[in-house]
Amino acid sequence: MDATTPGPLAPEVLDREDLRAALIEHDFAAVFALVKKWSGLSQNRIAAACRLAPGKVSTIISGSQRVTSFDVMCRIADGLRVPGHLLGLAPRPWERQQQTHQPLPALPSARSDPDEIPWRSDATVDLAADLTRSDLVMDRRAVTRALAGTAVTGAALLDSLEGWLLPAARPPAPVRRGRLGMREIDELEITAKAFRQWDHKYGGGLRRKAVLGQLSEIASALDEYQAPTVETRLYRIMAHLAGTAATMAWDSGLHQRAQEYYRLALRAAHAGDDPVFGANVLAGMARQMLYRDRPDDALQLINLAQEGARDVIGPRVRAMLHTREAWAYAAQGRTAGFQRATARAAEALATAGPNEEEPYWIAYFDDAELAGVTGGRLLDLARQDPHRHAERAAAEIRSALSSRGAEAGRSHALDRIGLAECRFLVGDVTGGAEETHRAVDAARLTQSGRVRSQLGELYPYTVGHSTSRTVREARDSIRDLLSS
């Protein structure tokens, strides 16, 4: 077996946070044990893939021998097809042979091209029907393939969103007459709102198929002729449901699928003449790019949101967009830009009075949310310069925690994880371990994949302190949760 031969690990195994933490730590005893447990590979097959003697694999798993050879580490990376960055290596030869970006998969024969510009609302309906149909019948193997899907970035993504800034094209009128009235529309809006609030609090994908089923029903209703006021509200409901489906897919590790639902949500907001929610969708897409280490794309998405909704957004939405802008600057290492955008966010939020008429979905963005987001971005900067930014990051996160408790669900857990990392960064290992226990307790209360991913990033801080029982217990608590 050479460096270009595909390895045996399935994507869902390689995406496990406990395996990734073990790889980053170079804990190959844990790596091989987790590979055996979750991929079903025997020691002999692991040995053959990595060009090692079966006995050597056995001694590594038992802990009686450590992997210290660079050559052996490279053979493990190539044999199990582990990306080089997870082991601190340069990209492996087989990584360079893969396409950097995968195009969005072709959808089954929609009646009109979903990427044509200007956008047509009937193409949006077709896109919704096709996405939900394929997702509702997705089996385990299809989920595995979807987990391996890569979000589109760069010009391929940004060019596909240009229709957001142009008036919609007039589609042909549907033939069948629909019979939905305002009472049914009110009920659908209540359902969409409930799904969104549940996802914002708990995260995860436990109700994802319920959201997709409702989205499919909306697409069916829009495939019929409805009264203009009913049609507009249906498109807005579709936008909200698609946005929720996007965040649920993301929390489930389905990054490419999440992006497809974000695109659907943006098109539906455009068809429903709701540029404010469209700006929110673009902010969600920007956040996804930031988690994928694409700050340049994120900044362009935020600029697109601001350009398309500048005259209609209220102060809370404007503040939220500025925080995403600040996040992109922080990821680029542009401290001055981060500070400027954060100050603008605070200024905008200060003008949001109690009687301000803004959509229900932005009500969460208050002083606590601003503090939490600011603390998180300062934490990004603190990873490069702990002395300058870590204490301020901790102060902002504590401010958020004092204003929103465990009922905030996903946000509360992320705050706890961020505060633990701040303690580790300033060298307070004991304090970091204590905060880690609190973070793990908070993480147990949510199904969010993002929370688990962030928790996994705490793991390396707990390594190398085997004499400290507090740190050892913190490390074990992370591993136990990520292995469950």
pLDDT at 111 over 90: no
H-state helical runs in 148-181: 154-159
Residue 439 has pLDDT above 90, yes or no: yes
Looking at 7-136, which runs of residues are DSSP E strands? Answer: none
Q: Is the pLDDT of residue 112 over 70?
A: no
What b/e readout covers 301-323, taking b as 16+ CB neighbours within 10 angstroms?
A: bbbbbbebbeeebbbbbbbbbbb
Percent of the chain exceeding pLDDT 70 equals 88
What is the per-residue pLDDT for 351?
92
CA pair distance 439, 427, nearest whole angstrom = 18
Mean pLDDT value across residues 174-178 = 71
pLDDT at 108: 39
Which string of b and e fits 452-467 if b means at least 16 CB within 10 Å?
Answer: bbbbbbbbebbeebee
The string of pLDDT tens digits covering residues 278-310 is: 999 999 999 999 988 899 999 999 999 999 998
pLDDT tens digits, one per residue of 457-478? 888 888 876 668 888 899 889 9
Torsion, Cα of 476, 477, 483, 484 (10° steps): 140
- Answer whether residue 416 shows pLDDT above 90: yes
> What's the chain's average pLDDT?
85
* H helices, E strands: number in the chain: 24, 0
Given a contact cutoff of 8 angstroms between Cβ atoms, the answer to whether 20 and 86 are in contact is yes
Over residues 316-359, the pLDDT tens digits come to 999 999 999 999 999 998 999 999 999 999 999 999 977 678 89
What sign results for the dihedral spanned by CA atoms 79, 83, 87, 91? positive
In DSSP notation, 268-301 reads HHHHTT-HHHHHHHHHHHHHHHHHTT-HHHHHHH
Task: Calculate what percentage of the chain has a pLDDT beyond 90.
Answer: 42
Question: Which of helix, strand or coil describes residue 117?
Answer: coil
3-class SS string, 79-97: HCCCCHHHHCCCCCHHHHH
416: amino acid identity, one letter:
R
